[in-house]
Structure 1
Amino acid sequence: MASRESLFIGIDVSKQTLDVAFGADPHAPLETIPSTDEGVQLLVTRLQRLQPTLIVLEATGGLERMVFAQLLQAGVPTARVQPRRVRALAHAEGRQAKTDRLDARLLARFAERVRPPHHQATDEQRASLRDLLVRREQVIQMRTAEINRLTAAAPNLRPGIQKHIDWLDQEIRALEQERDNEAERTDEVRRKRELRESVPGIGAITARNLLLRLPELGTINRKEAAAVVGVAPYANQSGAQHKPRHSSGGRRDVRSVLYMATLAATRRRLVRRAFDQRLCQAGKPRKVAIVAAMRKLLTILGAILRQQKPWDPAVHTSAP
Structure 2
Amino acid sequence: MESKGFLGIDVSKGYSDFVLIDSQGQIIEKGFRLNDDSQGRKKLVQLIDEWKGKGLTEVFCGVESTGGYENNWHSLLKSLQSQGGLYVARLNPKAVKAVSDAVLRRTITDSVSAENIALYLAKFPEKVDYGLDYIYDEKYKDGRDHLTAIQMHIKQCTQLKNQLNMWLYGTFPEVLVYCRNGVPNWLLRMLEKYPTPEKVRNTVNGLSKIKGISKEKAASLKLKAKQNNQPVSNQMAHIISVAASEILHKMQLIDGEERYLESLYKDNAKVKLLEETPGIGLASSVKIILEIEDINRFDSVKKMASYFGVHPTFKQSGDGKWGSHMSKRGRGTLRATLYMCALSGMRHNPVLKPIYKRCRENGMTHNQAIGVLMHKLLRMIYGILKSGKPFDADTDHENQKKANEKQENQKQNLKEKTKESKRKIYRYQSLEISGPISGRRAAKIKKQTASQAPTMGESTGLPSAETKL
The residue that corresponds to 1:35 in the other structure is 36
2:384 to 290, 304, 320: 304
1:175 aligns with 2:260: no
Superposition pairs of residues 116-265 of structure 1, within 5 angstroms: 116-119=128-131, 122-150=136-164, 152=168, 154-176=236-258, 178-180=260-262, 182-183=264-265, 190-215=268-293, 217=295, 219-234=298-313, 236-243=315-322, 245-251=324-330, 253=332, 254-265=334-345
Do the aligned partners of 1:296 and 1:319 also contact (CA within 8 Å) in 2? no
The residue that corresponds to 2:404 in the other structure is none
The residue that corresponds to 1:20 in the other structure is 18
Do the aligned partners of 1:26 and 1:105 also contact (CA within 8 Å) in 2? no
**Distance of aligned partners of 1:117 and 1:276 in 2 relative to their CA distance in 1, 3 Å threshold:** same
The unaligned stretches of length 5 or more in structure 1 are none
**Distance of aligned partners of 1:242 and 1:66 in 2 relative to their CA distance in 1, 3 Å threshold:** closer
**Distance of aligned partners of 1:84 and 1:237 in 2 relative to their CA distance in 1, 3 Å threshold:** closer
Give, in whole Å, the separation in 2 of the partners of 1:246 and 1:149. 33
1:107 aligns with 2:189: no
Equivalent pairs, count:
313
Q: CA RMSD in A?
A: 2.8
1:16-46 alpha-carbon deviations (Å, 9 max, x no partner): 3322222242422133222211221332354
Do the aligned partners of 2:140 and 2:293 also contact (CA within 8 Å) in 1? no
The residue that corresponds to 1:93 in the other structure is 103
1:311 is displaced (CA, Å) by 1.5
**Distance of aligned partners of 1:114 and 1:182 in 2 relative to their CA distance in 1, 3 Å threshold:** farther
Do the aligned partners of 2:384 and 2:390 also contact (CA within 8 Å) in 1? yes
The unaligned stretches of length 5 or more in structure 2 are 169-194, 196-235, 401-469
The AA in structure 2 aligned to 1:275 is Y
Give, in whole Å, the separation in 2 of the partners of 1:46 and 1:174. 46
**Distance of aligned partners of 1:12 and 1:236 in 2 relative to their CA distance in 1, 3 Å threshold:** closer
Give, in whole Å, the separation in 2 of the partners of 1:181 and 1:316. 30
Give, in whole Å, the separation in 2 of the partners of 1:174 and 1:223. 36
Give, in whole Å, the separation in 2 of the partners of 1:2 and 1:213. 38
Q: Secondary structure at the match of 1:155?
A: helix
Do the aligned partners of 1:234 and 1:247 also contact (CA within 8 Å) in 2? yes
2:373 to 293, 297, 300: 293
TM-score (norm. length: structure 1): 0.84
The AA in structure 1 aligned to 2:77 is L
The structure with the larger Rg is 2
**Distance of aligned partners of 1:286 and 1:69 in 2 relative to their CA distance in 1, 3 Å threshold:** same
The AA in structure 1 aligned to 2:11 is V
1:239 is displaced (CA, Å) by 4.4
Give, in whole Å, the separation in 2 of the partners of 1:124 and 1:114. 28
Do the aligned partners of 1:69 and 1:121 also contact (CA within 8 Å) in 2? no
Do the aligned partners of 1:57 and 1:64 also contact (CA within 8 Å) in 2? yes
Do the aligned partners of 2:36 and 2:72 also contact (CA within 8 Å) in 1? no
**Distance of aligned partners of 1:32 and 1:244 in 2 relative to their CA distance in 1, 3 Å threshold:** closer
1:276 aligns with 2:288: no
The AA in structure 1 aligned to 2:139 is Q
Do the aligned partners of 1:129 and 1:179 also contact (CA within 8 Å) in 2? yes
The AA in structure 1 aligned to 2:18 is V
Q: Secondary structure at the match of 2:345?
A: helix
Give, in whole Å, the separation in 1 of the partners of 2:62 and 2:103. 18
Which deviates further from its counterpart, 60-69 or 235-244?
A: 235-244
Give, in whole Å, the separation in 2 of the partners of 1:129 and 1:48. 33
Do the aligned partners of 2:262 and 2:283 also contact (CA within 8 Å) in 1? no
Larger RCO, structures 1/2 (Cα 8 Å, 6+ apart): 1
1:230-262 alpha-carbon deviations (Å, 9 max, x no partner): 332345444454557443252250322222211
